[in-house]
Structure 1
Amino acid sequence: MMKLKLHWQILIALALAVIAGSLAGTSAELLGVRFYAAFDFIGTLFLNALTMLIVPLVVSSIIVGIAGIGSGGAFGRLGLKTLLYYLTTSLLAILVGLVIVNAVAPGMVDGEPAKHLLGMSANVSDVVAKVEGKGTGDLVGVFLRMVPTNVIAAAADGQMLGLIFFSLLFGYFMTKIEEAYAESMYNFWQGFFQVMMKITDWVMQFAPIGIFGLVAKVVASTGYSAFVPLAWFFISVMAGLAVHFLVVLPLLLFFVGRVNPLRHYRAMAPALLTAFSTSSSAATLPLTMECVEKEAGVSNRTSSFVLPLGATVNMDGTALYECVAAMFIAQAYGIELGFVQQFTIVLMSLVTSIGVAAIPSASLVAIAIILAAIGLPVEAIGLILAVDRVLDMCRTSVNVFSDSCGAVIIARRTGEPDVLGEPALQRS
């Protein structure tokens, strides 16, 4: 019997959730059990499972990624150019998302916060107090939290910025010890990371059930009004991804790589379609490498370093999505974020996008980190799940395209000939 793909399961779950929520309301019950309470239990259980993954998944992902970069002398000119490109494009993507979400304000409906329409249950005054406590100090406080006095306590308290910084240091200096010990440590963390990816994949198999509970709860309590702000959130993310995919990255190809962007779109079409259908840059990696090498003409030396690294740390679409999601939730609670809070969102989006596993919907874990960093309740992720799968497919395509653009640009800047049919540039 053929098994339905996850995105079809989620679409069916959404349709059933709307029907079930509409029919049940908040008072209908069966054998003394209210349907509304059952919806709430299912949704909360799924969110708890996602939250459970945060610390081990992010720590192992970053340590393995950084240790992989730092080994084998890869931190040379090629490594520095690659990291500079990835940091630049991720930051540009986040800023694009920040501008659009501030302009569109999807969390506001008719000038009012959409909290009640979205069925968000947290007390607004409590949320405001947490956000003010997290962000109204000066910027020095943001950087002080990067160096925790106790790493275990930082993880327990949700201070992920410090944990991420520690993981970056651990991964880098793991490559500086004796080879025998370094290899053992790398194998341990690689195995740990593989286990966490398996667990994440397993948890996401229950996404249709979790989404059913979360959406049915909202529809039962608010009706269909929740879909208005959600539609604007969807449009905001899609607009940001479109700007980055169709404007920012082609401009980098044209002005920095000195190549025709249209040729690169044609060369990457098979990989982009695969990324869209699988929602996984890791699963798309073999095809991405084939397209970049055979169709775009990048050498194996460059592609074999740039692309696997990109599948690990370069998540432009994900970073943009995380930023827009956090801002949308803040707007829905009626919280006006100042420069410091928005700077924190930008910084957290940048560093957490590095630690996001290259598997479907893993960015939900990163969004939970960002919400905790600025004091917003994790429960607010619930409604975003309703449109996450479609957005995941789109942002994965942006992630893969950015990786491929990086390979082309770096190949061009290092003097490789015949990249997309162009003569070699002078080395820079």
Structure 2
Amino acid sequence: MAGPGFFSERYLVGQIALGIVLGVIVAVLWPAAGMQLGLLGSLFVSALKGAAPLLVFVLVMEAIANHKANSGVRFTPIVLLYALGTVSAALVALVLSRLMPSELTLLVGESTLAPPQGMAAVLKNLLLRLVDNPINALVTANFIGVLAWAAALGLALRKVDVAARNLLTSLAQAITQLVRWIIRFAPFGILGLVAATVAETGLQALLNYGQLIFVLLLAMAVVALVVNPLLVFLVSRGNPYPLVFTCLRESGITAFFTRSSAANIPVNLNLCRRLQLNPDVYTVSIPLGATINMAGAAITITVMTLAAVHTLGIEVHFTTALLLCLVASISACGASGVAGGSLLLIPLACNLFGIGGDTAMQVVLVGFVIGVIQDSAETALNSSTDVLFTAACCQREQLSR
């Protein structure tokens, strides 16, 4: 009997790679057709974004409602890895920015973007999202609010009869199957995203900021291939690279092209299931990581801020540099709740060096120019690391039993 063919779910990564190649070919040879294929990408990303809040809500609620006492589930190690990874990423960005300083051509013109006014505003925003209306949290993909309400309802459902909890389990299984069907269309969605991006994006604007893009990508590569494996090794005491490459291949590639941590949550949950991790852990840690595990955002904030500092000839003292890393790390945790993502947190960091709001917003606009590369790589690093750290801690727990 013949084994599964290339178009089975088993070879999904290979199918996505084929979609990337075909998307580039179509965009280069028939740019107009590439733009039209962008509809496939938009439909795929919209479907993932639409399913993600509901999937997280039901899975977390079901996991807590049916959680068995003394099961040994611990989230502290994962949260510590999230925090340590984000701070380490900011330090890597700091070192590389000092070794290879980038210079910006600051853009002219007023911006209508509205960054948060200080760290207190970022923290207040996080707290308000925590107690958001549950319906609004689902509609707006506010995963902090979704997690909070799912956990509260899960605890309440522990007091009801078994039949109700069994019905919730069946609902969770049905939504999981629905998401698996959506993910099967990933090769077509990625084809459309690649074709539209290549056909639409001019290379000249990116070439003008080649040095800046290089530093950003190098910092993210160092974190993905050196820092993260080191952290995983300290947790698992085994060779981290098979797991690192699996996460980058099966989570990072999709995240790179969708450029959305929310859209990649279903992909990550599906990967955790295939890695046979503890569902009581990953149903919570993956959406939590999409909110607070922001190594890529910390790199972006640090590199862009130091590029502005270098351009303006401002001296950077050691203590101020370390404070920048701390501010970038904390700010990054609020990036997903701010329109424009990590770029709008740059003015907070620029304020440490006395850079005015108008100049800081010009730096933000530079970020939008290179966003097609910066945001893609940032999302790939953030999202793949969610699975990596979750898997490392789950495997450590399994070995210790």
> 1:408 aligned to 2:396?
yes
1:126 aligns with 2:126: no
Q: What is the distance in 1 between the residues matched to 2:101 and 2:294? A: 21
Q: Does 1:177 align with 2:160?
A: yes
Q: What displacement does 1:78 show?
A: 0.7
Give the structure 2 partner of residue 78 of structure 1. 72
Quickly say closer, same or farther: Cα 1:70–1:348, change in 2 above 3 A.
Answer: farther
1:137 maps to 121
Normalised by the length of structure 1, the TM-score is 0.59
Structure 1 residues 124 and 312: CA distance shift in structure 2, 3 A: farther
- Seen in structure 2, the aligned counterparts of structure 1 residues 224 and 52 have a Cα distance that, compared at 3 Å, is same
Aligned residue number for residue 53 of structure 1: 48
Match of residue 67, structure 1, among 62, 66, 84? 62
Q: Match of 2:192?
A: 209
Aligned partner (choices 130, 138, 145) of residue 146 of structure 1: 130
Please report how far the alpha carbon of residue 177 of structure 1 lies from its aligned counterpart in structure 2 after TM superposition. Answer: 2.3
Distance 1:320 1:283, change over 3 A: same
Q: Deviations over 1:220-245 (max 9, x none)?
A: 66364466544433322221123443
Partner SS for 2:201: helix
Higher mean displacement: 155-164 or 380-389: 380-389
SS of residue paired to 2:130: coil
Aligned equivalents of 1:154, 1:335: Cα separation in 2 = 36
Q: CA RMSD in A?
A: 5.1
Could you give the per-residue CA deviations for residues 113-133 of structure 1, whole angstroms, max 9, x where no partner exists? 7989xxxxxx87222x2x226
Quick one: which amino acid aligns to residue 92 of structure 2? I
Alignment partner for residue 163 of structure 1, among 129, 143, 146? Answer: 146
Aligned AA (2:23): A
Structure 1: runs of 5 or more not aligned: 25-34, 117-122, 254-260, 290-305, 350-365, 417-428
1:167 Cα deviation from its structure 2 partner: 2.9
Which amino acid in the other structure matches residue 61 of structure 1?
V
Contact 1:151 1:163 in 2 (8 A): yes
Determine helix, strand or coil for the equivalent of 1:126: coil
Q: For the structure 1 residues 411 and 114, does the alpha-carbon distance in structure 2 shift closer, same or farther, using more than 3 Å as the test?
A: farther
Q: Which has the larger displacement, 64-73 or 280-289? A: 280-289
Give 1:68 deviation, angstroms. 1.9
Q: Conserved in 1, the CA contact under 8 Å of 2:16 and 2:186?
A: no
Kept after mapping to 2: 8 A contact 1:159/1:373: no
TM-score, reference length from structure 2: 0.62
Paired residue for 1:250? 233
Instruction: State the SS of the aligned residue for 2:41.
Output: helix
1:219, 1:226 within 8 Å by CA — same for their partners in 2? no
Residues 159 and 408 of structure 1, relative CA distance in 2, 3 Å threshold: closer
Q: Aligned partners of 1:270, 1:135: CA distance in 2, in Å?
A: 38
Select the residue among 173, 176, 183 that pairs with 1:190: 173
Question: In structure 2, what is the equivalent of residue 9 of structure 1?
Answer: 19
Aligned position for 1:241: 224
User: Does residue 1:343 correspond to 2:343, yes or no?
Assistant: no
Percent of residue pairs bearing the same amino acid type = 13
- Please identify, of 1-10 and 207-216, the stretch whose mean Cα deviation from structure 2 is larger: 1-10
Q: In the alignment, is the contact (CA less than 8 A) between 2:216 and 2:300 conserved in 1?
A: yes
* 8 A contact 1:47–1:382 mirrored in 2: no
Residues 60 and 189, structure 1, Cα contact 8 Å, conserved in 2: yes
User: Structure 1 residues 7 and 318 mapped into 2: Cα distance closer, same or farther (>3 Å)?
Assistant: farther
Deviation at 1:93, TM superposition (A): 2.0
Q: Is 1:92 aligned with 2:75?
A: no
What residue is the counterpart of 2:296 in the other structure? 324
| Matched residue, 1:352 | none
Q: Distance in 2 between matches of 1:56 and 1:276?
A: 22
- Cα distance in 2 for partners of 1:217, 1:310 equals 40
Q: Aligned residue pairs: how many?
A: 340
Cα offset for 1:60? 1.8
Does structure 1 retain, via aligned residues, the 8 Å contact 2:229–2:244? no
Relative to structure 1, the CA distance from residue 213 to residue 331 in structure 2 (aligned partners, 3 Å threshold; closer, same or farther) is farther
